[in-house]
Amino acid sequence: MQNHLSYSDYLIRILTASVYAVAVETPLEPARGLSARIGNKVLLKREDLQPVFSFKIRGAYNKMAKLPKEALACGVIAASAGNHAQGVALSAQKLGCRAVIVMPETTPQIKIDAVKNRGAQVVLKGVSYNDAYDYAAELAAKEGLTYIAPFDDPDVIAGQGTVGMEIVRQHSGNIDAVFVPIGGGGLAAGVAAFIKLVRPEIKVIGVQTDDSCGMKKSVEKGEVVELKDVGLFSDGTAVKVVGSETFRLCRDLLDGIITVDTDAVCGAIKDIFDDTRSITEPAGALALAGLKAYAARNGLKERILIAVTSGANMNFHRLRHVSERSELGEGNEAIFAVSIPEQPGSFLKFINTLGNRSITEFNYRYGDDHTAHIFVGIQTAGAGDNEAISAQLTAAGLPNTDLSDNEIAKIHTRYMVGGRSHKVADERVISFEFPERPGALARFLNHVKTDWNITLFHYRNHGADYGRILVGMAVPPQDSEAFAEFLEQLGYVYEDETDNAAYKLFLG
């Protein structure tokens, strides 16, 4: 590749880039709900609406369209976590050449299938982009294929730079800052190269995840730094080593690089869905997560801020994780471990101590005769509300620990509370269903005033119209008739799950 092109050369390359034979000029859309919430005008550059659901098509096609016919006839090869792969595959389909794509073994199946559907040959190798790259280099030399770099190539960078060109053309008025996700740095380098030459007053801010921040570390050190490991949640930006040319451009042109965690990215995915009814992949929401963090840290108000939503190749099953973590990312949910006396009425006292706060999750299993340990999710009024909740519980004599930043609690423990209890006799397990609305759990517990000891309790608000609770109670055989009458009088839809196989195997 050519190194150290002048910035004016990049401007010319961007202005003359060949992208629109396959790419589209994506809209710059307002995020009205988010804008109202954070007090700034937020605009989304919708690269998730490209034919391959990612900006990567721009750079791939620009590079391949400029190859000599002899090179195209031999075929091309690329290493990619997915989006660049689809860009190369579609470009090859358009140009009528062979394409081999080496993808990490961690690549979501949706991206693998999309590449195959474009007629490209897929080879899975390694667990990161760099592993795939090493193998792609071997195949390129062995089979005489032209390697299409995902980011560290002037023509690829120029193709991605057309995103910046469109932003400036689509919004000719004031723009305070543009936020761009960074993996290897091609998009950020291209956008910055254009914007800083034609509108230098606009800040261009790169965004990375805390666990894949190779560009940030490299800029801070003044040389390219190789990361030992990278986080894979934002697989589209999971790059161990950034490009030398993208490093030079980002180092010289970016106004800063901000990092965010997984919860913040999940919150941004939800924000985009709320305002557009579209679902981006984690890397696609990364820029917006950075925009929100930057605005909050700097106290920005009444500014015009743009985030590039770079891709939408989301593995559907990952949405379960995103849904769980998005409320934590927004600071709308706190997770606490709370100790309460093991005696009838303790649950109700705990719920009433929280007043009007909604419970989002409630996990408990009988352990001993003295203290009950519960795992609880509580809706908050923002991240700063956690301390107030803790103080409120402490004042009520309820020891507690804030687990909102505890990864083990968020990923594992919340699903593992429970197990068998040999101290529980005559346990009856009942599932209840009720209309889900604020305060529903408190109303349920206030209705379930009973002398029978609660031995098991699980509730999680999943955002559905109906809530579901699983409750265990110690009911002696002589109380069976009274218990049946009690259930009927509660007025809730219920099922007796005492003979349920899942309960018997793991909890009974």
Active-site option among 41, 45, 56, 111: 56
Residues in CB range of 163: below 8 A, 6 or more apart: 45, 47, 55, 58, 187, 190, 191, 308
Distance CA 191, CA 462 (A): 39
CA distance 195 to 164: 6
By C-alpha distance, which of 405, 403, 394, 492 is closest to 443?
492
Amino acid identity at 28: L
d(CA 84, CA 76): 13
Q: CA-CA-CA-CA torsion for 42, 46, 48, 54, nearest 10 degrees?
A: -110
For the packed helices 262-276 and 282-297, what is the interaxial angle rounded to 10 degrees?
100
CA angle (110 as vertex; 105, 112 as ends), nearest 5: 45
H/E stretch holding 193: helix 186-198
* CA 123-126-127 angle, 5° bins: 120
Distances in whole angstroms, Cα of residue 449 to Cα of each of 78, 280, 345, 393, 396: 65, 45, 8, 22, 21
DSSP 285-302: HHHHHHHHHHHHHTT--S
- Token pair in block for residue 74: 């031999």
**What element of type H or E holds 114?**
helix 109-117
DSSP-derived secondary structure letter, 314: -
Q: Answer yes or no: 326 catalytic.
A: no
Would residue 310 show up in a list of annotated catalytic residues for this protein? yes
Of residues 151, 144, 18, 162, the one with CA closest to residue 84: 151
Question: In what order do the strands lie in the sheet containing 333-341?
Answer: 400-402, 333-341, 371-379, 359-365, 454-460, 466-474, 427-435, 493-496
DSSP symbol at 467: E
Distances (CA, A) of 57 to 66, 162, 289, 363: 14, 11, 23, 46
Query: What is the chain's length?
Result: 508
Query: How far apart, in whole angstroms, are the C-alpha atoms of residue 225 and residue 214?
Result: 6
Through-space distance between the first and last CA atoms of the chain, rounded to whole angstroms? 65
Q: Which two tokens stand for residue 203?
A: 């800040």
- How is residue 40 written in tokens? 């700034």
For 430, the enclosing helix (H) or strand (E) is strand 427-435
Answer yes or no: are the C-beta atoms of 426 and 475 closer than 8 Å: yes
Which of the residues 310, 326, 346, 404 is marked catalytic? 310
Active site residues: 56, 310
